Chain A
Amino acid sequence: MYERGSELIKRRIAWAASALWLGFLLLAIVLGDSRSLIASPLPSVKVRALPAFARKYGMPCSSCHQGWPMLSPFGQAFKDNGYQMMNERDAPIFQQPAYWPVTFRITPTWHRENENRAQVDGPAGVSGNEASVTTHGFDWSGLDFHTGGTLAKNISFYVLPSSDNTGAFHFETVMARLDNLAGSSWFNLKFGKFELDNLLSEKRILTLSSISGVYTNYHFQPATENNGLNLAFPLFGFGIGDNQVGMELMGHSKDDRTRYSASVLSSNDGSPGLPTSRGYDGYFAFSQAFQVGSLGLQRIGAFDYIGQAPTYFQYTNGNNSGIPGNAAFGLPGTGIGNRSFYRAGLIGMFYIKKYDLTAMYFHSSDDKYLATGTPANAAFGTLPTGAQNATWNGALFESHYTYSPQLILIQRVELVRMSQQALPIVAGTPYTPGVSVPNASFGNEDVYTFAGRYYPFISSRAGFAFHGEYAFSHQVGTSPVTGQSLDFSSLLVGFDFAF
C-alpha cells in the first residue's frame, strides 16, 4: 500500500514541480523583452553539497540536507563532528583505496535581469541619463570543485577551488580541522580559510539568482561608503557571508543542540596574500536548540563580528599608473589607521512540521572614517563636516515548505534600514558623495525572493534539481543620475547538478 501510494505521490510531485518550473519559464518569456543592452552575470555562488560524502557513507542526500545544499540538523551535526559519523569508521583507511572525495557542481540557467534606472548615454550627455534595461538569455554559473572529508580520525579538511562563470578560479575554502580535541566534542580547532559559523549558511543558500544568490544583510554596506573620492583610502569591503581566513575554536554538545564558536581572523575579508593590514577581527556565535512537542527542533542564537579595517597605507610602492594626481599604490600589509566596525545579530530557526521559518535581526555599525571613505590621517584627507558612524538594522525572514525530500519551496524577505547616516541629511538635495545625503532612508534596501527546487531523484551518488526563482530588490535613492529608487529584478530557471 505504501509502495503504491508512494508512486502516486511521486507522480503528483513530479507533475507539480514540472508545472512550477514551466510556469517560471513561461512567465520569463512573457515578461522578457528585446532590450538586451547589458549583461548581468550570475554571482559566483559558492555552495556546498557533497555527493562525495554521500558516496562515502552510502546515505542519500536527503539525510544531511533538508533540500541540498541546505543542511538538516543531522547534516549540521555531521559537519560539526568534522565530517564524521562517529561510528569508528570515518578514517580514510576504511575506504576503497581509489576513493577520492571530490564533487563538482555547476548550474546551466536561463535568466532575465532588469534594472529600472541604469546609467546610460542620452540627451543629457554621456552617462547623464537613466533607462530601464532588461536582458535575458541562457547562461551558466561558476564551477565548484569540492574536496572534503577526513585525513584521519578526528582530522578533517575542506578545499574548494571555485571559479566564476568565466572559469577564473580562486580558493573559496582551504582549511584543516582538529576534531574532538581531548576526546571532547566541545573543542574543535579549525585553521585556514572557511565560512564563518553562520547558522543560516550563505554557502548553502537555496537561491541562485543575481539578487538572491547571497544574503543582502550579510553583505550590506551603506551607500556612502567606497565613494572613490579619496584614492589614498583602501577599498573597504566586508561581508559576514564571505569566507574569512583565520582560526576557529568551535564546540557542540553530542546531540548538537548547543553550539558555540569563537574565531580570530585576519582583517582582510578572506583575501589571500595579506593585502591590507596586520589587524585581527573576532567572530563569536552561540546557539541553543530545543524540542517543542511534535513540532520539531527549534533553535535560537546570537552572533557578533567585531572587525577593523585600515583607512590608509603606511608605505606606498610606486605610482598608480603613472597618472599625475593619482595616489600611490599601498604596500601590501602596511595598512594602518584602522577603524572599527561590527555586525551583530540574533537568529531563530523554527520548525512546524513541514514548514520552517528562519528569522534574523541584524544591527551593524561602521566607523565614520570607513563609512565616508576618509583616511584617518589629516595628511591624506579630512572627515566631511558632520560625519558620524553609520549604523543600520536589518531583518531577514526565510521560510521553507518541504513537501518531501524531493520538493522544497522557498520564500525570503530581507529588509535593511539605516538608523544613522554617515553624512548629514540635507533635504531636497540629491546625494552628494562626501557631503550629504537627501534623507534618513537613503540606501535602505528591500529584497523579496520566491523559489522552488524539485529533485527528481535522491541517491547517494549524485544530485540534480530543477530550480525556479524570482527575486526583486528595491533601494531607496540610489539611482545613479536622478537619485530615485533603484529596483532590480531577476528571474531564473536552471538545472542545478552535482556529481
Chain B
Amino acid sequence: MMRTRRLTKLVLGIAACVALPITASAQQGESHIGKLTGHADTGRQLYFRYCWGCHGFRGEGTGENWIPTGSFPDSPYLNIQPRNFVAAVFKCRSTPTGTLPLQQDLYNTLVRGVVNSNMPSWITLTSQNRADLIAFIMTFSARWKNDKPGDPITVPPEPKLTIEGIKHGQELYQKLECWKCHGPLGFGNGPSASTLTDSNDEPIRPFNFTAFSRFKCGSTNQDLYKIFMTGLDGTPMPSFADVVKPEEAWDLVHFLRTLQVELKSPELTLWESTKEGAQQVAASRVSGTPTGSGVKQ
C-alpha cells in the first residue's frame, strides 16, 4: 500500500515536472494581435523558410548575408543590418523609448516592410502566418518574458495645417538640431551624418527626406509623429517626447513633409505657395539624367 502511494506520488511528480514547463512554454510561445493568436511552433517553420537568411539561426541578425562591421560601403544593398531579435531592441514602436514594442508594432512592420532596407513587406503572408512569426521571434529574447511592452504613446488629433505651423516646425528643426544629421534641406547629409553608428557600432545613415515617399516606420503623418516621439531605438535617432509638446511635434511633422519635395502633399502645396517655401523647394529639387533608381540621388 505504502509502496503504491509512493509510486503514485512519483508518477504525479514526474507528470507535474513535465506538464508545467510545457504549459508555461505554450503560454510563452504565443502572440496575441487583435483577435489573432500566433503560435511559436508554426512560426518557427515560417522563420526557417523566410527569415533565417538575414536574421540567422539564433535570431542574432547574423544570417548568411551578415556583413562584418565596416564593410557595408562595399555592399550598399545590405547596408542596414538585419534586426537582432536576441537584443530585442526595435526601431518601430508605438511605445516610449527603451521599452519593448507592442506585438501589434512588430506585426505592422511585417506588413509594411522597412523601406530602403533589405526587409520586404510580408503582406502576401496570411495574417495568421504573421502572428505565428511574431510568436516565434519573441522566443529569441528573455526580454519578452521579463519585461512588458511600454504603454503606447497617445497621438493627439492632427491640428489644422497652417503656414505658421510649418514655419514653427522649421524653427524647431533648427532648434532641435535635426539638421545636424538630416541636413539643412533634409538630404541626410548634415555635418554629423558620416559619423553616426547604431547600437552595434555599425555605420548608419540619416534618413533622406527628399528621396523617399515612405518612412522606415510608416508613411502617414501619424507614423512620422510617432517616430520622433518614440525615437528609433538602436539608432542615433532619439525620442523628443520630453523635449517638444504635442502641438509642436505636429508642426515639425508638417515641416518635414515639405522636405519631401518629390511627393505631392498638402503641406508641400501650402509651403510652395509662399515665396520662402517656393525658393526652398526649388533648391531641393534636382534635375538631370535619371539613373533609374526611382529616387533622387
Contact = CB atoms under 8 A, between A and B. Distances in A.
A461 B65 CA distance: 10
A93 interface: yes
Given A96-B75, A459-B64, A460-B64, A91 B124 contact: no
Contacts of B123: 77, 254-255
Chain B CB within 10 Å, residue with most, of A57, A95, A256, A404: A57
A74 B48 CA distance: 15
Interface string B29-71: 0000000000000101100111011100110000011000000
A396 to B, nearest CB: 24
Given A3-B57, A58-B65, A59-B54, A297 B293 contact: no
A499 to B, nearest CB: 15
Contacts of A56: 77
A131 interface: no
Contacts of A77: 123-124
B212 interface: yes
B77 A74 contact: no
Contact of A87 (B45, B48, B115, B125): B115
B118 A91 contact: no
B77 A153 contact: no
B19 interface: no
B195 interface: no
A291 B212 contact: no
A152 interface: yes
A6 interface: yes
A89 B291 contact: no
Contacts of A95: 76-77
B13 interface: no
Interface residues of A, number: 45
B123 to A, nearest CB: 4
Contact of A294 (B119, B124, B128): B128
B293 A93 contact: yes
A74 B50 CA distance: 9
Nearest to B129: A296
Contacts of B124: 73-74, 76-77, 255-256
B293 A3 contact: no
B122 interface: yes
Interface residues of chain B: helix, strand, loop or mixed (majority): loop
Given A74-B122, A291-B127, A89 B116 contact: yes
Interface residues of B, number: 45
Nearest to B297: A93
A3 to B, nearest CB: 7
Contact of B65 (A73, A153, A460): A460
Interface string B78-101: 100000000000000000000000
A38 interface: no
A462 to B, nearest CB: 12
Given A58-B54, A155-B292, A294-B128, A87 B64 contact: no
Contacts of B57: 3, 6
Nearest to A75: B124
Interface in B9-35: none
A128 to B, nearest CB: 57
A490 to B, nearest CB: 31
B77 A63 contact: no
A293 B37 CA distance: 11
B121 interface: yes
CB-based closest 7 A-B pairs: A152-B292, A153-B294, A58-B65, A85-B120, A60-B53, A77-B124, A91-B293
